[in-house]
Amino acid sequence: MTSVIEPTVADDGSFFDGPRLLRMIATAMYRLSQQPVRNDQVYRDEVQSAFNHLVLLCLRRGVDPPASVPEMARWASEKPLGEWPLRLPEELTAIEWYLVDAETRVPTQQCLEWVVFAPNVAAEQFENELLGEALARSRAGNAPQTYVAFRRLLIERPVLTGIERTLLGQDLALGLLHETIRRAYEPAPAAYLSDGVFAQCARCHCLLVPTRHGYRCELESCRRDGHPRVGRVLSPRENDGVYQVSRPLRIFITGPGLAETRLETAVRGLGLEPEMWPNYDRYDLRIVFPDQKVWAIDVKDRADPALLARTMGPFPANPPFDRAFLVVPRYRFQVREDYRRVFLNHLPDDLRQHVELLSDEELVREARSKLRRVRAIQRQMDPAPEETFDA
């Protein structure tokens, strides 16, 4: 198993290195992205602490440190992780990735994944608070269909005009969650405006970010397809404003949700009826085959396979299943040829016999193959009656 280098701590307990400092710096980048820039800038404790520890680390390593918090942020967009003076596992530095996107100037997905992984950061600020509220309200109302409708809304309509947001108040399927929905969508910032209008990505429907080189989509799955196509163009003045789900929700709900709903469509194409987010989101898809065997599927679109493995837990036993699959979009395996190996190296030993990692395409092939076997057995057990003819 690949070893993970633990953070180095000095005798006085004041020196952080490795993954621990990486989590601190990633958290600082996220906090900075939330904080308006001012001349009399006073940084949050998390930001200042990350900067202080990075400077101390640089001095101990004989490396010129960043002179200020803004320069630390420039490092995050200009220096790939392998060039930082951090002692990190080789798998984190084997590929070139950054904490901040140089084009859009926002934290990358890899950065946000490290923030979520950080034990000292309230992950509910990302997704658990709103999703937990949606789950609680849906359970209280005995309305699993309301939760499913809420998840589909975040996935299929990550951007709403002010008019559309108001009209959702008349949607009976979402009746229990109207207040939650209002909080899930925030006003689109001016940084997304180009010539006074917002443009949506034709593929994922998130807002495109205007850059010096044209538009750029925030979702890595869209960027893999090349130059983004512009979908709807929205004038905030003509539409009573434009709203979008928060960036963490776009990364961790909308992005993977697109993979979930594409998988749903592919499975339906096989003649099966998957149940989405069963029993209030115990996992993502539940497939019942004609022989009554059940597959439980969880879909994750994560950039870092080590973090994904280290945050995995056992699949919930209810609703019951016969096989459990963790499904990752195929493009992740194309970006990182070692994705499967790194994941398995970091997966807890007690989960190795219970969770199978597949790409979305592999899962569909496996389901198609099983369906053929089941139908062949059924034909053998229940052959068609011989034709009879009247004399």
Tell me whether residue 83 is in a domain.
yes
167/211 same-domain check = yes
What pLDDT is attached to residue 350? 87
Tell me whether residue 204 is in a domain.
yes
Q: How far apart are CA 253 and CA 257, in angstroms?
A: 6
Please state whether beta strands 185-187 and 294-299 pair in parallel, antiparallel, or not at all (unpaired).
unpaired
Structural domain ending residue among the three candidates 211, 246, 281: 246
Please state whether beta strands 185-187 and 242-245 pair in parallel, antiparallel, or not at all (unpaired).
antiparallel
What pLDDT is attached to residue 13? 46
Structural domain ending residue among the three candidates 67, 90, 120: 120
Tell me whether residue 260 is in a domain.
no
What pLDDT is attached to residue 1? 34
131/242 same-domain check = yes
Tell me whether residue 6 is in a domain.
no
Q: How far apart are CA 280 and CA 151, in angstroms?
A: 11
107/162 same-domain check = no
Nearest to 327 by CA among 292, 378, 293, 367: 367
81/137 same-domain check = no
Tell me whether residue 84 is in a domain.
yes
Structural domain ending residue among the three candidates 85, 120, 155: 120
233/217 same-domain check = yes
- CATH (domain of 310): 3.40.1560
Tell me whether residue 1 is in a domain.
no
Q: How far apart are CA 29 and CA 8, in angstroms?
A: 22
How many alpha carbons lie under 13 Å from residue 382 in its C-beta half-sphere? 3
Q: Which domain holds residue 112?
A: 18-120
DSSP 68: S
140/97 same-domain check = no
What pLDDT is attached to residue 6? 39
304/366 same-domain check = yes
Going residue by residue through the chain, which has 391 residues, state the pLDDT in tens, using 9 for 90 and above.
Answer: 333 333 344 444 446 888 899 999 999 999 898 776 655 567 888 899 999 999 999 999 999 999 999 999 999 999 999 899 999 888 887 788 899 998 888 899 999 888 876 543 434 455 567 888 999 999 999 999 999 999 999 999 999 999 999 999 889 889 899 999 999 999 999 989 999 999 999 999 999 999 888 899 989 888 876 668 899 999 999 999 999 998 888 888 999 999 999 999 999 999 999 999 999 999 999 999 999 999 999 999 999 999 899 888 899 999 999 999 999 999 999 989 999 999 999 998 888 888 899 999 999 999 999 999 999 988 888 765 555 445 3
What pLDDT is attached to residue 128? 65
59/114 same-domain check = yes
Q: Which two tokens stand for residue 327?
A: 């499904």
What pLDDT is attached to residue 38? 59
Q: How far apart are CA 246 and CA 165, in angstroms?
A: 15
Beta partners for residue 285, in sequence order: 276, 297
Instruction: Count the residues in the chain.
Output: 391
Please state whether beta strands 323-328 and 294-299 pair in parallel, antiparallel, or not at all (unpaired).
parallel
Tell me whether residue 387 is in a domain.
no
What pLDDT is attached to residue 214? 86
Q: How far apart are CA 373 and CA 388, in angstroms?
A: 29
Task: State the greatest distance between any 2 C-alpha atoms of the chain, in Å, as a whole number.
Answer: 102
What pLDDT is attached to residue 312? 87
What pLDDT is attached to residue 124? 42
229/157 same-domain check = yes
195/210 same-domain check = yes
Nearest to 66 by CA among 52, 80, 83, 45: 52
Q: What is the pTM of this model?
A: 0.83
Question: Quick one: which H or E segment has residue 32?
Answer: helix 18-34
Q: Is 387 exposed, middle or buried (0-12, 13-18, 19+ CB in 10 A)?
A: exposed
Counted domains in the chain: 3
133/234 same-domain check = yes
Tell me whether residue 261 is in a domain.
no
